[in-house]
Chain A
Amino acid sequence: MAQSLTDYAKNWFKHTNKAERIWLMAKIEFKLRYYENKMGLLWALMKPISDMLIYFFAFQVILVSDIPHFVPYLFIAIIIWNYFLESTMGTIQILQVKRYLYEYTNMDKLEIYLSVIISNFIGFLFNLVIFFIMCQFTGVYFDYHIIYAIPLFLNLIILSLAFSLILSTLYLLAKDISQIWTIIVGLGFWLSPIIYAMDLYRSRLPHFDYLNPIAGLIINARTVFIGVNGMHNPDWRLMGFDFIYAGFFLLIGISMLKNLGPNASENL
């Protein structure tokens, strides 16, 4: 079974141009998003920086938060949240916007989703560079534990892809899904440990770190990059839960695409 899966993966990359095509579409998507105006890439960096400055002013200057390394603490949470938000909100209408890709050639729809998710991840990496620079100025130093960020980011990509698939296929049935999702993510922001101290979050919202799949990602990313009480090892149990969530939602998303996707052209 494992051997046949490996062979399948090898064939997929070697004998098709799918990987090359997904990367080509991701690059073009990224260019469309950020190079279309004179400010260019600066816009990609402006949003998280402006968010961070607003929250920093509100919680550090006015409310005087005593969370150590509050700026990077806030920033890593914001860029993870924004990646999830962009990858889900921004793809709700993907089957409509990108219909030229699957209607006029027999391109697999999943490739279109992957290209957009990867394109967003390029933007995420730019933000991560800003985060690394910021850490140097705020006295946060990394060690080998940052290697654990790789499974965390993979988890984030799978989760975002899963919700992207679910929401965009739901859009075929209900055009107001984006309004509903706006309310859900608005609520989700305040139910995630983005601006709160961890102790406060866990005491006031018990079990939410396990119930909210984004919460675990933020908590573990902070642990890996900034550390909690000098510890940098992620909470493996929490990471396991988050992978199960991501896998579960991905299965639902793929199943919905398989069942509703073929009729996308008619329903749009």
Chain B
Amino acid sequence: MEQSEDITIEVFKLHKTFNIRDDNYNTIKQRFFHLFNPSPIRHLKALQNIHFSVKKGECIGIIGRNGSGKSTLVKCMAQVFQPSQGYIKLKGTMMLMNLGVGMSHELTARENIYISGSALGMKISEIDKIFDQIIAFAELEEFVNTKIKYYSTGMIQRLTFATASHAGADIMFLDEIFAVGDQKFIEKAVKVIEKSWLEGRTTVIVSHSMAIIEKYCVKVAYLKKGELIYYGDPRTAIDLYTNDLSNHVPAE
């Protein structure tokens, strides 16, 4: 039995259903004119009865085909989406990183670093001390005072990752961040993940790169059509996933 104080993320019987209307009545006028004739609601079950926990310092992976619910699960874990049933408990500060987002595109790298660092619980004086390290890690020395809307996706990714890792988020959710970085960034990022793991930080990686998942994750969750098929040994999870993929290869 795992000690409850070791648990950093607890996902308990999580269900997530999106209620979607075919017609998007989202103004008062539309609601008024369709008061007695509302469009039917479709219930899209994105996640069903997901149940697992992550211990402090663990690096876990989430794999599955497109549309299997990986990103929805991560957003629920990061408390961006509210569970329809069940609950999620997090211990500590967290940062969610996914493709090209996580920071304001209207702000400069400097401003984003200070806001993100502060949101992760750091004092301004503490951010001052690590500011140069973050910029150096992200290799953005020449663009410190440039608005990040002029950055490439890879540059934003480097900045977000550098900020989260240096500012010391207790939990890092990395949703496909390796998809846009170059080889050098990936090498640096995985070194940080190894180091963070040793320092007791928790990392959740969503990736289609089985090499990264197998190398760095101690446990892997395999999702299929919103259900947790397997959670545990990475090799077993990857085999289940690849078998499933090979069974779905379209006929020539």
Using a CB–CB cutoff of 8 Å, the interface residues on chain A facing chain B are 16-17, 20-21, 24-25, 28, 32, 98, 100-101, 103-107, 173-177, 180, 262-263, 265-266
Contacts and interface: CB of A to CB of B under 8 A. Distances in A.
Contact of A265 (B26, B81, B90): B81
Nearest to B112: A100
A105 B116 contact: yes
A100 B102 contact: yes
Nearest to A261: B82
A20 B120 contact: no
Interface in B200-222: none
A100 B95 CA distance: 11
Contact of A104 (B102, B111, B123): B102
Interface residues of chain A: helix, strand, loop or mixed (majority): helix
B249 interface: no
B93 A175 contact: no
A142 to B, nearest CB: 36
A104 B95 contact: yes
Nearest to A172: B26
A91 to B, nearest CB: 16
Nearest to B82: A262
B27 interface: yes
A176 B82 contact: no
Contacts of A28: 107, 111, 115
Given A265-B75, A265-B81, A266-B81, A24 B114 contact: yes
19 contacts: A24-B115, A24-B124, A25-B115, A28-B107, A28-B115, A32-B106, A98-B104, A101-B104, A103-B78, A104-B78, A105-B94, A105-B96, A105-B120, A105-B169, A106-B79, A106-B93, A174-B27, A175-B26, A263-B82
A25 B124 CA distance: 12
A33 B103 CA distance: 18
Contact of A21 (B78, B104, B119): B119
A21 B167 CA distance: 14
A232 to B, nearest CB: 41
Contacts of B86: none
Contacts, number: 78
B128 to A, nearest CB: 12
A265 B111 CA distance: 23
B122 interface: yes
A176 B120 contact: no
A145 to B, nearest CB: 38
Contacts of A20: 118, 123-124
Nearest to A20: B124
B100 to A, nearest CB: 11
A218 to B, nearest CB: 29
B91 to A, nearest CB: 11
